[in-house]
Structure 1
Amino acid sequence: MSRIARRATAFAAAAFMSSAMLAIMSAGLASAADPILGNWKTELGDTAAIEQCGGGFCITLKNGKHAGQKIGAFEGQEGSYSGKITDPEANKTYNGTITVSGDTVTLKGCVMKVVCESQKWSRL
């Protein structure tokens, strides 16, 4: 093998290893990016996915009567979030908060900060 061919092969191998390492590191960062991300079991037994959207997080129901419906949009980080949550049965949207503690999220929605209800969801 010529010197040029060996260098080209070495360069290609180094480039491949660099891109593979970046992919592995990015996957690790994405999964550790925020504790709110993932699938959650609601109090009614449905699955809700919390995913990144825009500059925050969106909640979409994955199964049940309201499958495919976006029911929340939140901003925040590291376990504490605020935004809007929709009760899909009543089709009403409320100001809300989400806190994450381990494998549990607590959602709290309020009307005029006076009448509030909360739910606890568990990670799937």
Structure 2
Amino acid sequence: MKLKYLIALATLPLISACTMETMTTNQISELYSDTTSLSSNKATANYYYADGRYKSTDLETGEVTRGTWYAKEPDEICITSDKGERCFAMSKSDTMVTFELNGNKSSRKLSEYLEGDQTSELVKAAK
């Protein structure tokens, strides 16, 4: 019987580490401002300027799409480009961020957000 309780207690940190909570606009702005990340399919490098500009670079062709980004109440990041505006609901755990748009979810490790504009390095690495 004691073993049963020890096993239950041992799993508590794992359960809490996976708990997702919605992100505030401040948390979204802090995470994205002046960072680069790869798209979920790893085909584009997305750089989020600190002043709200945005660029997405196709790693194969080098084609660049430009636009803007902003955090929207209560828990969304919005990206506007010539393709229109898309807003993703955001949630996070201690190690992951999850995006949701129209019921479709995608996740990324927090460690995958790179400081500054790393686009040229990612383009070089893709070749």
TM range (shorter): 0.3 to 0.5
Structure with greater strand percent: 1
TM-score, normalised with respect to structure 2: 0.40
Higher relative contact order (CA 8 A, sep 6+): 2
